[in-house]
Amino acid sequence: MLSDLSTFSINSQYPDGRLHHRQRFMRALLAILLVILFGTGGILVTEESWEVWQALYFTLITITTVGYGDMGLSESGQRFTTLLLVVGIATTTYAFGQLIQAAFAYQQDWRGRMQKSIDQLHGHAIVCGAGRVGRTACAQLRKEGRGIVLIDRDGRHIEWARNEGIPLLIGCGTEDEVLRLAGIDRAYGLVCATSSDAENIMISLSAHDLNKNLVVVSRAQEVESIRKLERAGANHVVAPAINGGRELATLLVHPHVSRFLRESYEAESSFRLTAVSIEPGSSIVGKTAREVGIAEPSLVFVAIQREGHDTRIRLRADEQFEDNDIVIVVGDHEAVARMAKEASAEPITA
């Protein structure tokens, strides 16, 4: 179980305990090397007619208990081989045991370090599934400045996650314990990006049960699964088959609109199209669109969604922002970031 995480030792040079594992690993290799040298040298002494390669070969097949029959040893060679069998097998068994323990302990320490970094996250996003969709979601979330925890049952994704600096939990998002380790109680949202609709439904159910305020976004392979995912607690469902078809048609009929929307998501773009949530208690509550516009002249207010009302295009200059308003804005990255920070009651910790 992932919850069975070992406690790693503290060391001034290697605070994660890697020095201890490296020493254990080197001692094991040294023990094996000494046994091989001892056996090869002893055979060369007792069997004067043997070449170095013959002595090395005989030592290896002896200590590994492979054995290929009598190789014509002298009486003194047989006595030495008896000693070599006892010492060699005992030493190599111990050495291989130390190597396995070192590898296992290092893996446990890596999980401990990973869990420690996850425990420090607040307002982060959890992504279930490290496939192409999940990795793309991680890339976009990083552009948005969100902390990320990735969940996947395939250990082969560890190296990719480590290179990207993304904490990865080996497990399945359908398990409550795995979601708790991912900090679901402190998370802002969750992305169900696995290739199985049934698994995404179960993840949505589990996540919604553990955190009622969590924003759940899910992928749907089949169109028929969209309603099921929504009933399971997913706030938004994306069906690549449908969205891909719409994108293709829009590119054909309205290429400039598609290019504008695509560029708004790119980090190198000079502008950004996004939604800003006005949180209760934030400093922007009570200000008018004119006041915010004067402070940030590059911002354009596209639409506003207010609780209990339909989404309305364009804002009046004297319209005051209220608690829980959702404002769609376009502007340069810095201006949008400043407005989002002002609209937030508490700063987001990534």
- Whether 1 is covered by a domain: the verdict is no
Task: Report the DSSP beta bridge partners of residue 58.
Answer: none
- Whether 85 is covered by a domain: the verdict is yes
- Whether 231 is covered by a domain: the verdict is yes
Nearest Cα residue to 125 out of 200, 214, 44, 45: 214
- Whether 66 is covered by a domain: the verdict is yes
Q: Which of 87, 117, 147 is the last residue of a domain?
A: 117
- Whether 282 is covered by a domain: the verdict is yes
Per-residue H/E/C for 144-203: CCCCEEEEECCHHHHHHHHHHCCCEEECCCCCHHHHHHCCCCCCCEEEECCCCHHHHHHH
- Which domain CATH number covers 113? 1.10.287.70
Position 14 scores a pLDDT of 39
Q: Which of 221, 238, 255 is the last residue of a domain?
A: 238
**131 lies in the same domain as 232:** yes
Q: Residue 170 belongs to what domain range?
A: 122-238
**326 φψ region: left (φ > 0), alpha (ψ -120 to 50), beta (else):** beta
Read off the pTM: 0.57
Token pair for 264: 């708004």
Would you say 182 and 118 are in contact if contact means Cβ atoms under 8 Å apart?
A: yes
Query: Domain count of the chain?
Result: 3
Position 8 scores a pLDDT of 30
- Which domain CATH number covers 161? 3.40.50.720
**193 lies in the same domain as 229:** yes
**32 lies in the same domain as 107:** yes
Give the other-Cβ count within 10 Å of 61's Cβ: 14
Q: Tens-digit pLDDT profile for the chain (350 aa)?
A: 333 333 333 233 334 445 565 676 777 778 888 888 888 888 888 887 888 888 888 887 777 777 666 666 777 777 777 787 778 778 877 777 777 776 666 666 666 677 788 888 888 999 999 988 899 999 888 887 889 999 998 878 878 888 888 888 888 999 999 999 999 999 999 999 998 999 999 999 999 899 999 999 999 988 889 899 999 989 999 887 777 777 778 777 878 777 777 777 666 677 788 888 898 888 899 899 899 889 888 888 888 888 878 888 888 888 889 898 899 888 888 888 888 888 886 544 33
**102 lies in the same domain as 148:** no
Position 105 scores a pLDDT of 63
CA dist 193 and 276 (Å) reads: 24
- Which domain CATH number covers 340? 3.30.70.1450
Position 107 scores a pLDDT of 61
- Whether 253 is covered by a domain: the verdict is no
- Whether 265 is covered by a domain: the verdict is no
CA dist 347 and 57 (Å) reads: 67
**184 lies in the same domain as 82:** no
**91 lies in the same domain as 67:** yes
Tokens 């925890």 belong to which residue?
149
Position 228 scores a pLDDT of 92
CA dist 188 and 182 (Å) reads: 12
**94 lies in the same domain as 168:** no
| Amino acid identity at 162 | R
CA dist 100 and 119 (Å) reads: 29
**45 lies in the same domain as 129:** no
Position 347 scores a pLDDT of 42
Would you say 343 and 284 are in contact if contact means Cβ atoms under 8 Å apart?
A: yes
Half-sphere exposure of 114 (CA within 13 A, CB side): 26
CA dist 281 and 292 (Å) reads: 17
CA distances from 97 to 5, 7, 31, 104, 239 (A): 21, 21, 12, 11, 50
Position 6 scores a pLDDT of 32
Q: Which of 117, 142, 162 is the last residue of a domain?
A: 117
**135 lies in the same domain as 92:** no
Position 15 scores a pLDDT of 42
**81 lies in the same domain as 149:** no
Token pair for 42: 């002893």
- Whether 7 is covered by a domain: the verdict is no
Give the other-Cβ count within 10 Å of 118's Cβ: 20
**126 lies in the same domain as 87:** no
Position 73 scores a pLDDT of 72
**153 lies in the same domain as 57:** no
